[in-house]
Amino acid sequence: MKAYLDIIRKVLDKGIKKDDRTGVGTIAIAGAMFEHDMADGFPLITTKSVPFRLVASELEFFIKGITDKKWLQDRDNHIWDEWCTPMVILYAHDEETKKKMMAERDLGPLYGWQWRHFGAEYKNYKTDYTGKGVDQLKKIVDKLKSNPTDRRMICMAWNPVDIEKVSPPFCHYGFQVTVIDGRLNLLWSQRSCDVALGLPFNIASYALLLHLLAKETGFKEGKLVGFIADTHIYLNHIEGLKEQLKRKPFSLSKLKTENFKSIFEWKYTDSKVEGYEHHPRIKFEIAV
């Protein structure tokens, strides 16, 4: 997909070396934009393999507002294994702390919890938050059905009150939905972006969310747009990304969702990509 590969090229060509929280080191640029028309296919990167099952199960986790990473682990999704809430284990790089973070289940009030319970007081993953806070996702769905020309269909994850309760705090911190000419568009904003590992997941996840919102409301699928601030490549990812740039992209896959009743009843197994042709996996180490 050219839009993603162009971002890689831009960071490799113009990125400036910059220290970072993880100690690995990056090259970074200030600002990039991703844009894709969903009519051209589902934007699952083809120059390497991206596991759609993990993208979809994480999105179901977010939509449900769950904060217990065991829910993901029970579905063989381990992308959040290394993280936990600083309310229980303070973030640090030493091996003992990393082991404690791995063992802790509570992720804190992260993305999906903010989508469904913004402004509520977070206590722990065991608490029932039904009816607590602002259900931003439901408000967007209701507004799409009652007044789709509204320009205030915004969902925020960035809550300053909760920044110290999650690690890392809300890389993609908000999204907005617009309807223009009968097509539903989703635009997300991101403060920090790991181009090799994070961005392919972010693209696929928000594309899937756009797809589900369109099915919920009956609109055609429109544009997916991402606004990215600190756009960076970790130094140990550079060679892998150079390898990706040598590969010729395949045609994009199609997304099919069956048995759909509501976005709030949707399960990740209801959606599948068809015709996903891709190059072999490239292993990128996660920077914790």
Neighbours of 264 (CB within 10 A): 14
Query: In this structure, is residue 78 part of a structural domain?
Result: yes
Q: Which of these ranges, 6-10, 69-73, 81-85, 166-170, has the smallest mean pLDDT?
A: 166-170
Average the pLDDT over 13-37 and give the result: 94
Most confident of 18-27, 113-122, 164-173: 113-122
Q: Residue 91 is part of a domain; what is its CATH number?
A: 3.30.572.10
Query: In this structure, is residue 285 part of a structural domain?
Result: no
Detail the DSSP E strand segments found in 98-182: 154-156, 172-180
pLDDT value at 288 more than 60: no
Query: In this structure, is residue 170 part of a structural domain?
Result: yes
Number of domains in the chain: 1
Query: In this structure, is residue 282 part of a structural domain?
Result: no
Q: Are 56 and 271 in contact (CB under 8 A)?
A: yes
Predicted pLDDT at 168? 87
Query: In this structure, is residue 280 part of a structural domain?
Result: no
Q: What pLDDT digit, counting tens, does each position of 220-239 carry?
A: 999 999 999 999 999 999 99
Q: What pLDDT digit, counting tens, does each position of 253-285 carry?
A: 999 999 999 999 999 999 999 999 999 999 887
Range of the domain at 78: 2-274
Query: In this structure, is residue 222 part of a structural domain?
Result: yes
pLDDT value at 89 more than 70: yes
Query: In this structure, is residue 11 part of a structural domain?
Result: yes
As a dihedral over the C-alpha atoms of residue 44, residue 45, residue 46, residue 48, rounded to 10 degrees, the angle is -130
Percent of the chain with pLDDT over 70: 99
- Cα(234)–Cα(286) distance, integer angstroms: 9
Predicted pLDDT at 203? 98
Q: Are 227 and 33 in contact (CB under 8 A)?
A: yes
Q: What pLDDT digit, counting tens, does each position of 173-221 carry?
A: 999 999 999 999 999 999 999 999 999 999 999 999 999 999 999 999 9
Query: In this structure, is residue 88 part of a structural domain?
Result: yes
What is the pTM (predicted TM-score) of this model?
A: 0.96
Q: Does residue 275 come out as left (phi exceeding 0), alpha (psi in the -120 to 50 range) or beta?
A: left
Which residues participate in catalysis according to the annotation? 171
What would the two tokens of residue 142 be? 């209701």
Predicted pLDDT at 250? 98
